Amino acid sequence: MLKIVFSPATLPNRGVLVLTVATGQKLGEEGLRLDRKLGGVLKKAMAASTFSGAKEQLLTIVAPAKSRLSRLILVGLGDPIKASDVVMQRIGGTAMAALQGNKDTHAILLVDEFKGSSLPEGEAVAQAAFGARLRSYRFDKYRTKLKPDQKEHLKTLTVASAHAVKARKAYLSLDCIADGVFLTRDLVSEPPNIIYPETLAQQCNTLKSLGVKVEILDEKQMKKLGMGALLGVAQGSAKPGRLVTLSWQGNASAKDKRPVAFIGKGVTFDTGGISIKPAAGMEDMKWDMGGAGAVIGAMKALAGRKAKANVVGIVGLVENMPSGTAQRPGDIVTSMSGQTVEVINTDAEGRLVLCDAIWYAQEKFNPRCLIDLATLTGAIIISLGHEYAGLFSNDDTLSSQLIAAGKKVEEELWRFPMGDAYDKDIDSPAADMRNIGSGRGAGSITAAQFIYRFVKKGTPWAHLDIAGMAWQNRDKPVVPKGATAYGVRLLDRFVSDNIEGK
């Protein structure tokens, strides 16, 4: 794992240095000093290139004259006045991407000062370090024959700044958030023969060391509680289901002591069951537990940074498999709420897991609000691609808070409509409801309507369909391709902005 350290702004004599440059090829105080020391090589290189200092632009100078530096990398900051925390994270991530894949074991990122910066002293530097760490993630656990040029050699990144002390302090909580993000990425990246309901529940136990209370229910306990919807999904697998509760009590003096409840869909592998999926691409269904992974990672982040909030995370963990014991299309199951569901399609299983987990959360904790996350529908990808997650809610205030939090961390949400006409589409002549709508239209909305039937009156609720966001096939500045951990930073920011200290 990359080690990040902070130091005063100094110009190294050797190794690799990354330096921030503002738009218009403007150098900061340290950049000007370095340019003088190197005989004007920075200005000459910029003048001879298309590099302007625009956000995330890169210019590499190999073995610059009058120095023993192996490489000098300029990274564009853009307009310092517009350098928000997200911008600085992207700068750090862009710098890290430029450093990866080389022989260097150590590098220096010099975050130079520019007049008019909108961030407090040290905050910009801490955010750049945070972005660098987020981008440094790799999942090479099972690759035993990597060639030297495929391995990551960078072990330490020194982030240099005139405000190193303040930056180090500001980075402490960000580092805890990164720990939560990395846990989620690890869990989602693991193959399904390693991560299944029992082993994922065991991973939750690791949060006990941070002060999180962990309770794991087995199938016998869930059956006693009447969780027929969740257990119906689990019954086709040799791997028994689990329901895990993660409780963080960080604000004993809160006026409203009811916790915020995060609910995660944890289908550790989804074949579709008897309504089996096509073989092509089925290996991707290991990340159908991305919602549960995000909840677990968010709880680690909150506990790690000692958030002053009361939060509970509940994850329903199952494996959806076809077998002689699997539930069939046409089966009718009874949920914990007492409502009955006619199972029309066994591949619409996530909502069956969520409905019992959501009812359990309300019965046990009477939460101030409910937020569920799930890789729920392919229809949401048709609607939004891989740029936004879908948001469905019964509460305008909660929706606005989540959308605002998502913008601040670049985990964007787009709100969809709900209503009686959509709700009627899941009525069943044989049970209280069907688990899918009557046609192909509005599949994400009818899925949300199904979940909404298990939300008690008066409880603010939001459903985040993250099917298009849990995994990505291309690199982004702070998210390398693969498992994204979408939702961890969003939930953490939601708590920070709206719940902590209240």
Residues annotated as catalytic are 277, 351
Three-state DSSP string of 222-233:
HHHHCCHHHHHH
For residue 497, what are the contacts with CB-CB under 8 A and spacing of at least 6?
A: 401, 404, 405, 408
Rounded to whole angstroms, what are the CA distances from 304 to 42, 178, 181, 329?
A: 41, 10, 12, 44
Distance CA 391, CA 414 (A): 6
Q: Within a 10 A sphere around the Cβ of 138, how many other Cβ atoms?
A: 15
DSSP 350-365: HHHHHHHHHHHHHHHH
Give me the amino acid identity at 453: R
Q: What 8-state DSSP symbol labels residue 46?
A: H
Q: Name the 3-class secondary structure at 109.
A: strand
Q: Which two tokens stand for residue 329?
A: 């299309």
CA distances to 342, 404, 405 from 399, rounded to whole Å, are 30, 9, 10
3-state SS record for 29-40: HHHHHHHHHCCC
For 434-477, the three-class secondary structure string (H helix, E strand, C coil) is ECCCCCCCCHHHHHHHHHHCCCCCCCCEEEEECCCCCEECCCEC
Rounded to whole angstroms, how far apart are CA atoms 413 and 44?
Answer: 44
Residue 336 burial by Cβ neighbours in a 10 Å radius (0-12, 13-18, 19+): buried
**Count of all residues that appear for the chain in the document:** 502
Question: Other CB atoms closer than 10 Å to residue 426's CB: what's the count?
Answer: 22
Handedness of CA 502, 299, 263, 338 (dihedral sign): negative
Contact 269, 320 (CB under 8 A): yes
Handedness of CA 481, 484, 490, 495 (dihedral sign): negative
- Whether the CA torsion 326, 329, 334, 339 is positive or negative: it is positive
Buried b (16+ CB within 10 A) or exposed e, 472-492: beeeebbbbebbbbbbbbbbb
